[in-house]
Amino acid sequence: MSKRALVTGVTGQDGAYLCRLLLERGYETYGAFRRSASLNLWRLEELGVAKDVRLVPLDLIEFTNILRTVEQVGPDEFYNLAAQSFVGLSFEQPIYTADIDGLSPLRILECLRAAKPDCRFYQASTSEMFGKVQTVPQTETTPFYPRSPYGVAKLHGHWITVNYRESYGLYACSGILFNHESPLRGIEFVTRKITSSLARIKYGLQDVLELGNMDAERDWGFAGDYVDAMHRMLQQPQADDFVIATGQMRPVHEFVERAVEICGWQPVWEGEGEARRCLDRTSGRVLVRVNPAFYRPAEVEQLLGDATKARNVLGWKPRVSFGELVEMMVRTDLDRLAAGKPLL
Ligand code: NAP
Ligand code: GDP
């Protein structure tokens, strides 16, 4: 009999890639979405799996809704990917973020403990919990120091997952994933903001790209590789926590530069601080400039992960390089516009 998986956040980037992977591996795959005026399945559609995922309405704010869904679906594996996932917004909506990202994992664990204690649980934790990093690179034993309401809320999700494993023997894992991107990444995150904006500039639909702190550095991987790590975590003899990362760190301005080149321009930088900008050498056109509105009240300057444990225990390693990732994202956005599709 095929295994049954329940994935929250099915309309998001990771939800789409994970559902595709689970379907490929023969799972009966249930995708939980929150009801809204219009259900947005464009990511599942782009991956060609929208018809194969069994959609169930589920809002993580509502305990009884989770309980009934667990009772009805009876999952063998529960992947909690749903979240208010944008750090920037968490400064505007800290209480909402705390509720969804911090308390929902607890609601789910309580439901599983009551109704399906043999279900394996995956919690989508994040490198943002390391925040003001205490060691470089970061591993599973690096102390946490979150720098945003998002990071603080996710830290509760992480520790409650560990606590339910230790207190009640639940098979509960926390995946500490570093930033992972793809053509399906939300448009407000810096990588996709860069690729979608440059594509729009190329097609005459936008004048200029405005960014905040271009010196921030991230360890960026490909989301398709990272959902494979999630699945591997739930197939082990014992539940545990893992850092998932590429082990390479790049500044935002390097992502910009590569993306500008792939669009066919020749990037040159001018100015410093708020006057810094990137121009096309041939035409002299300003492509990118700073807008301080995109600075954050507290910044995470650098994140660099060490995924040695995942490599040794899970046999996991990233497959897509930084250069391939940038190229994939830029080309997809250019192709979408060429085909007359909106950039969502
Ligand atoms: P994403 O694209 O923003 O997707 C988030 C999903 O959560 C969306 O499907 C969203 O639904 C859903 N959601 C939000 N609030 C909800 C609620 N109250 N009830 C039910 N569903 C709700 O995020 P992602 O990039 O796929 O990331 C997946 C998870 O991994 C998140 O928990 C994120 O915090 C975490 N994470 C991501 C990264 C990364 O680099 N991508 C790194 C570390 C950890 P709507 O479509 O209705 O908004
Ligand atoms: P995060 O690591 O989860 O916060 O992912 P983001 O993609 O939102 O941000 C990555 C880094 O890019 C952060 O250090 C941001 O401050 C920086 N950044 C610079 N300009 C921008 C911008 O315009 N939008 C976003 N989202 N991030 C920006």
Please list the residues that pair with 28 across neighbouring strands.
Answer: 4
Which ligand has the minimum distance to the alpha carbon of residue 60? 1
Ligand 2, atom 24, residue with closest C-alpha: 190
13, 84, 85, 87, best to mutate for ligand 2 pocket (most atoms within 8 Å of CB): 87
Matching residue, tokens 């301080």: 292
CB contact burial 217-241 (16+ within 10 A = b; e otherwise): bbbbbbbbbbbbbbbbbbeeeebbb
pTM assigned to the model: 0.98
Q: How far, CA to CA in Å, does 200 sit from each of 181, 212, 268, 336, 339? A: 19, 19, 20, 10, 13
Q: How many CB atoms lie within 10 A of CB 91?
A: 15
The domain locations on the chain are: 4-182+221-248+303-320, 190-216+251-300+323-338
Q: Which atom from ligand 1 is nearest to the alpha carbon of 177? A: 43
Q: Which of these CATH numbers, 3.90.650.10, 3.30.70.360, 3.40.50.300, 3.40.50.720, describes 4-182+221-248+303-320?
A: 3.40.50.720
User: Which residues have any ligand 2 atom within 6 Å of their CB?
Assistant: 87-88, 128, 179, 188-190, 193, 211-214, 216, 218, 252, 294, 296, 299-300
**Binding-site residues, ligand 1, Cβ < 6 A:** 8-9, 11-15, 34, 36, 40, 59-61, 81-85, 100, 124, 126, 177, 179-180, 186
Same fold, 4-182+221-248+303-320 and 190-216+251-300+323-338: no
Spatial CA neighbour of 66 closest among 105, 97, 38: 105
Q: CA angle, corner 20, sides to 130 and 1, nearest 5?
A: 110
Tens digits of pLDDT across the chain (344 residues)? 899 999 999 999 999 999 999 999 999 999 999 998 888 999 999 999 999 999 999 999 999 999 999 999 999 999 999 999 999 999 999 999 999 999 999 999 999 999 999 999 999 999 999 999 999 999 999 999 999 999 999 999 999 999 999 999 999 999 999 999 999 999 999 999 999 999 999 999 999 999 999 999 999 999 999 999 999 999 999 999 999 999 999 999 999 999 999 999 999 999 999 999 999 999 999 999 999 999 999 999 999 999 999 999 999 999 999 999 999 999 999 999 999 999 99
Integer angstrom CA distances of residue 87 from 15, 165, 229, 305: 19, 27, 23, 19
Residue with tokens 């309309």: 11
CA distances (Å), 217 to each of 67, 190, 192, 193, in order? Answer: 40, 11, 16, 16
Q: 289 CA distance to ligand 2 centroid (A)?
A: 15
Give domain 190-216+251-300+323-338's CATH number out of 3.90.25.10, 2.60.40.1730, 1.10.3210.10, 2.40.37.10. 3.90.25.10
Instruction: Take residue 172 and report the two structure tokens written for it.
Output: 């509960």
Of ligand 1's listed atoms, the one at least distance from the Cα of 154 is 34
What residues act catalytically? 126, 128, 150
Q: What is the C-alpha separation between 183 and 196, in angstroms, rounded?
A: 9
